[in-house]
Chain A
Amino acid sequence: MKILVCISHVPDTTTKIKFDGNKLDENGVQFIIGPYDDYALARAVEIQGEKGATVTVLNVGTASTEPTIRKALAIGADDAIRVDAEPTDAMFVAQQIVAVAKAENYDMILMGRESSDFNGGLVHGLVGEMMGWPSIAPCMKLELNGDSATMAREIEGGKEYLEVGLPFVAGVQEPIAEWKIPNMRGIMMARKKPLKVIPPVEVEGVTEYQSFTLPEGKSECKIIDPDNIGELVNLLKNEAKVL
């Protein structure tokens, strides 16, 4: 069994986002494996333990993402591929993933339900459609039985259970697995694991991120005395007009 796990390289979730002209101000920003992608990796490593799969991680990014890729190797992926390019949008990333996937026979492609920078929630469906495979997202449970899988997918107000034949693409979220923290041995081993760097394929018609804005800040919070709850109700009704 061969599993491809796609990981993004994104600002740590506690980052205060600022921009430097037209791009993210990376000053002092810590980068991590996308939180959802980290779940995909964790589930893949579990399947590797249970069924003896090989797990390949794939990132579309510049050389600056290599520490993030090494971390994925330390968590337990067997090898890694980096497509050497700035990931400009979901379509661009998806085309790179498809180029890699078409050259190999993966049984499944796992990734996050969405990246925490672009938040497109698109790459899994784009890859699924281009591969001619089903794409399931957000997938919160994945159990393999032979050449099919049972999944739970989150829907409004609950979940649906699905029976999906291999191969497939899944965009995952918790509680599919627990995040794994690399141990010392994993970190040592990761240094020797293969990380292949390949050039990107050409992609046309991508969207263009022209500028960024920050949400308007809230004005001062009005503090209301807990012994005067009527005042809060009054403000909600007459000032904020939400009751």
Chain B
Amino acid sequence: MSVLVYVEADGGIVKKSSLEAVAYGAEIAKGAGSSAIAIATGTVAEAELANLGKFGASKILHVSDERLNDGGIQATANVVFQAAEKESAGTLVMARSSLVDAIASRVAIKLGASVVTNVVDLPDTSNGFVVKRGVYTGKAFANVAVPGDKKVITIAKNAISPVESGDAATVEAFSANLSDADFAVKRTKVEKAEGDILLPEADKVISGGRGLKAPENWGMIEELAKTLGAATACSKPVSDMEWRPHHEHVGQTGIKISPTLYIAVGISGAIQHLAGVNSSKVIVVINKDAEAPFFKAADYGIVGDAFEVVPKLTEAIKEVI
């Protein structure tokens, strides 16, 4: 049975997380002696899709229906299901995103498949099919046996590091059967910060907490983020007070991120905050209180006043990159 990978694009460009999903799917296919096929929806450049061959896809199905650009949950779930049926897919792999998180369950029911989300590593297939997934909000991992011959898996960022090899693959138009019922939920408006580096995808993240005192003090955080090519994030009280937009809030009740570098400025490091960021590869903490709990979870720390340290750090980084 083949492996199907759902590929998401943003502004016509395939997301980096989807490249990871293709590489992940290709690994599973290789182990099972089958092939990995990708399915993409909406407007995506043909060359972008063909390029997925280099990450291990043998063929790419493309449903170019523009109505799917609105990211409809019901409609996208139905398309992915139909592609899985067409290709008799045993395993469906998707990289976590706001859309994938919403469709994985629906596709699983349509397929009669088992479903596991937030998988952090390749499966262990030595005895059945066992995956490692994050549980207790980042505080632990579970090894979960997934029964049955149909499986839906969503993977966390960095579950695999994709390497480019191989050749471009063929792109095949696929037309799914969609009815008006699939589009019953209407999108009326989108509010999106354009041009920013999106937090869930970001490789580096600079985060500010209540220690920054007021929203107008975020200039230096943004400056540091710009210098590093990083996304900005914040603690919960900061978004609760509307100093920063809600989608920047990380932690137990916010977004969970796993960048390679997380710099926390003026954040105490409450357990609920750590839950969202503790799978970052390297954590740097800047806090004026040497007793702040965040230092226990950090790799590097500076005990000092953020208003002095951050601008100096930005200057020092500019000198080396």
Listed in ascending order, the chain A residues whose CB lies under 8 Å from chain B are: 11, 13-14, 16-17, 19, 24, 35-36, 90-91, 94, 116-126, 128-130, 134-138, 140, 150, 153-165, 173-175, 205-215, 218-219, 221-226, 229-230, 232-233, 235-237, 240, 242-243
The smallest beta-carbon distance between B259 and chain A, in angstroms, is 9
Given A157-B247, A229-B309, residue A126 in contact with residue B109 (CB < 8 A):
yes
Instruction: Give CA–CA (A59, B238) in the complex, Å.
Output: 32
Are A221 and B301 in contact, with the CB atoms below 8 A? yes
Instruction: Give CA–CA (A240, B261) in the complex, Å.
Output: 9
Are A134 and B98 in contact, with the CB atoms below 8 A? no
Check: B213 CB closer than 8 A to any chain A CB.
no
Are B185 and A136 in contact, with the CB atoms below 8 A? yes
Q: DSSP majority for the B interface?
A: mixed
7 shortest interchain CB distances as A-B pairs = A125-B105, A226-B304, A158-B192, A129-B109, A129-B106, A17-B139, A208-B145
| Pick from A91, A135, A233, A236: contact of B115, CB under 8 Å | A91
By beta carbon, the residue of chain A nearest B245 is: A158
List 22 contacting pairs A-B, 8 Å CB cutoff, sorted by A: A13-B252, A13-B271, A13-B272, A19-B140, A36-B253, A117-B136, A119-B134, A122-B115, A150-B188, A156-B198, A156-B199, A161-B190, A163-B185, A205-B147, A207-B147, A209-B142, A212-B140, A213-B132, A215-B139, A215-B140, A218-B297, A242-B260
Given A158-B193, A208-B147, residue A226 in contact with residue B115 (CB < 8 A):
no
| Pick from A14, A160, A218, A223: contact of B302, CB under 8 Å | A223
Selecting from B45-53, B170-178, B312-320, the interface stretch reads B312-320
Given A19-B140, A237-B320, residue A165 in contact with residue B302 (CB < 8 A):
no
Are A233 and B313 in contact, with the CB atoms below 8 A? yes
Are A157 and B196 in contact, with the CB atoms below 8 A? yes
Are A232 and B313 in contact, with the CB atoms below 8 A? yes
